[in-house]
A = this chain, B = another copy of it.
Amino acid sequence: MPTLVQKFGGSSVANAERIRRCAERVAAARADGHDVVVVVSAMGDATDDLIELAATVNDQPSKREMDMLMSTGEQVSTAMMAMCLHAMGVDAVSMTGWQLGIRTTSAHRSARILSIDAERMRRELRSGRVVVAAGFQGVTDAGEVTTLGRGGSDTTAVALAAALDVAKQGGMCEIFTDVDGVYTADPRLVPTARKVPQISYEEMLELAALGAGVMHARAVMFGEKYGVPIHVRHSQRPDTGTMIIEENAAMEENPVVGAALKADLGRVSLRRIPNTTGVQGSIFAAFAAANVMVDDIMQTELGDMANISFTVEHSDLADVKIAASKVLEELGKGELAVEIGLAKVSAVGAGMKSHTGVASTMFHALGAAGIPIQNITTSEIKISCIVPKEHGKAALQVVHDAFGLGQAGGGVGSVSKSASGA
């Protein structure tokens, strides 16, 4: 039987009773004959509790020490899970990041996995043990403990699955979480949203970037890079969830797989700046240095001048304004304009590549609903419209309906229909 990597998030292992339920799933997979690696996050609010604890002695704790502190959360979970499995008669051994041979960069709190030495893990699996792996952590070549940043346990799980080459044997990485899969839209905003049975890595990445927070982007990228099938499913329910896999012919039949909303955006415009070669690089380097996440960028030319505008999260606006003012000062020219109260509604689907009329369907539907479109950006598999924030939720519902995402079978029919009318 193929090897399974099963990842349980923090809320799934928040207490003894929940750990027991997760352990039962592990035991069932063992009973079916699978080799199993379990990846666990810190129990419940443990990570937040540790962050609060740190704040009691230092309001700007060093990242290196934060990693030292926070990595204990997952270590506790691994020991608890291993003990729980023992109590059920399942042989198991807990392993920390350094015991797992997870080498990372030295960027504390947001380290990247460089390599995994799976030797010990393979040895433990061969001897019939379940490996209980600490998610979210690794070690540098200098022997320093690192963490991968929030959501890093997903990345650990997919990376371990890649290191063990589970796909070759028909295995996969199961991400157990508190939702039962990927939806055509956030069900809290769109009551008719449906669970998607399968989705491509690329589509999942676009949705993750749009704030559909089922899985972290880095984990999906790892899955794509190493071809690890990822099954996102509910930790307390037996149902099948969503498979994140390579794009296939069936997927291309649906031009749109999901819709997403980013509310609370602001737009920053640098107007009438000198349009010299390389100016864009200098400008966005300044925003990167200020740790601002810049969303869609638009540029228009006016002779030797240019207007550059981009969207950012409201919470980043204060930092952006400071950085932008500095940029203009250095350029010696240009004006700064900031708008708030915007939202972005997007449609995502690998099938867009081979379908026409997707954009017009979306624009028509928004127009028919009386929702003004302030900006449009597109990628190969995504169309996004900036709309006034007060229309955000309605816009999401409109787009969801326009592509028939709430109906069994989804997308195809509605797009053909709309496309013919476009």
Mark A residues whose CB is within 8 Å of B.
15-16, 19-20, 50, 53-54, 56-59, 61-62, 64-66, 68-69, 71-72, 75-76, 78-80, 82-84, 86-87, 93-94, 96, 98-99, 120, 143, 145
Contacts and interface: CB of A to CB of B under 8 A. Distances in A.
A68 B86 CA distance: 15
Contacts of A72: 72, 75-76
28 contacts: A16-B56, A19-B57, A20-B57, A50-B76, A53-B80, A54-B79, A54-B83, A57-B83, A57-B84, A57-B87, A58-B83, A58-B84, A58-B86, A58-B87, A59-B87, A62-B82, A65-B94, A66-B79, A68-B82, A68-B94, A69-B75, A69-B79, A69-B80, A72-B72, A72-B76, A75-B75, A99-B143, A120-B143
Contacts of A53: 76, 80
A43 to B, nearest CB: 9
Given A86-B62, A120-B143, A68 B57 contact: no
Nearest to A64: B93
A80 B86 CA distance: 32
Contacts of A19: 57
Nearest to A144: B99
Nearest to A78: B68
Main secondary structure, interface of A, reads: helix
Contact of A16 (B57, B87, B93): B57
Given A53-B76, A53-B80, A57-B84, 18 more contacts: A15-B56, A16-B56, A19-B57, A50-B76, A57-B87, A61-B83, A62-B82, A65-B79, A65-B86, A68-B79, A68-B82, A68-B94, A69-B75, A71-B75, A72-B72, A96-B145, A98-B98, A120-B143
B82 A65 contact: yes
Contact of A76 (B59, B69, B87): B69
Nearest to A53: B80
Contacts of A99: 143
Nearest to A94: B68
A133 to B, nearest CB: 12
Nearest to A74: B72
A145 B76 CA distance: 13
A83 B67 CA distance: 12
Contacts of A69: 75-76, 79-80, 83
Q: Which of A66, A69, A75 has the most CB of B within 10 A?
A: A69
A397 B173 CA distance: 69
A69 B73 CA distance: 10
A87 B61 CA distance: 8
The 9 closest A-B pairs by CB, nearest first: A16-B56, A69-B79, A72-B72, A58-B83, A57-B84, A68-B79, A58-B87, A61-B83, A65-B79
A281 to B, nearest CB: 35
A58 B50 CA distance: 25
A5 B125 CA distance: 42
Contacts of A83: 54, 57-58, 61-62, 65, 69
Contacts of A64: 93
A78 B68 CA distance: 8
A65 B75 CA distance: 10
A412 to B, nearest CB: 48
Given A54-B80, A80-B69, A86 B61 contact: yes
